[in-house]
Amino acid sequence: MRLLVVAIGRLKNGPERDLAARYRERAVALGKSLGVTACDLTEIPESRARRAADRVAEEAAAILALVPADAAVIACDERGRSDWPSERIAEKIGGWRDAGRGSLVLVIGGADGLHESVRGRADHILAFGAATLPHGLVRVLALEQVYRALTILAGHPYHRGDPEA
């Protein structure tokens, strides 16, 4: 399975970009032993359309053009579900991998959110809580959760989880 993070906008050099890169590199290194061949990041320029609806539609077309037909898709969206713990994310990623899904695409939309066509294509819509977060932090959170999911699948001690479970 190939992991791909598709994000609208480019992170400038700084702590968010460095931390995102660190988690991506960790995911790549650990993923090899789990049948995960890559963890790529594609940044799509923000649309310059005047109306928000047009921007979201243009960005959606660019996002969907990068999603392979057999891919599982997790869309990060503030309107998504925030009730999936890390163990559930790991379970889903492992299940998609074991079912032969060739790719997992994590989508992070632009400032105006995600178009319904992207939300409709998603296998899961994930929210990192009710608050609106900066895109740089969402990218870090998404990549950290990918890495955490891989550590759970590998039985690595990074994720301590619930000792009662």
Contact 105, 4 (CB under 8 A): yes
pLDDT at 165: 47
Contacts of 6 (CB under 8 A, 6+ apart): 42, 44, 63, 66, 67, 105, 106, 107, 108
| Residue from 143, 149, 2, 119 nearest 71 by CA | 2
**To which residue do tokens 């939300």 refer?**
119
Binding-site residues for S-adenosyl-L-methionine sit at: 109
Binding site, by residue number, is 109
The residues, ordered by sequence, that sit 6+ positions from 4 with a Cβ below 8 Å of its Cβ are 38, 39, 40, 41, 42, 66, 71, 103, 104, 105, 106
The secondary structure of the chain in percent helix, strand, coil, rounded to multiples of 5, reads 45, 20, 35
Helices within 12-164 (DSSP H only): 15-31, 52-65, 86-98, 116-121, 135-154
Looking at 1.20.1250.20, 3.40.1280.10, 3.40.190.10, 3.90.105.10, the CATH number of the domain 1-158 comes to: 3.40.1280.10
Rounded Cα gap, residues 145 and 101, in angstroms: 19
For 45, which DSSP code?
A: P
Instruction: Calculate the alpha carbon distances from 56 to 23, 86, 127 in Å.
Output: 28, 29, 18
- How do the domains of the chain map onto residue ranges? 1-158
Per-residue pLDDT tens listing for the chain (165 residues): 999 999 999 999 999 999 999 999 999 999 999 999 889 999 999 999 999 999 999 999 999 999 999 999 999 988 888 888 999 999 999 999 999 999 999 999 988 899 999 999 999 999 988 888 888 899 999 999 999 999 999 998 887 765 444
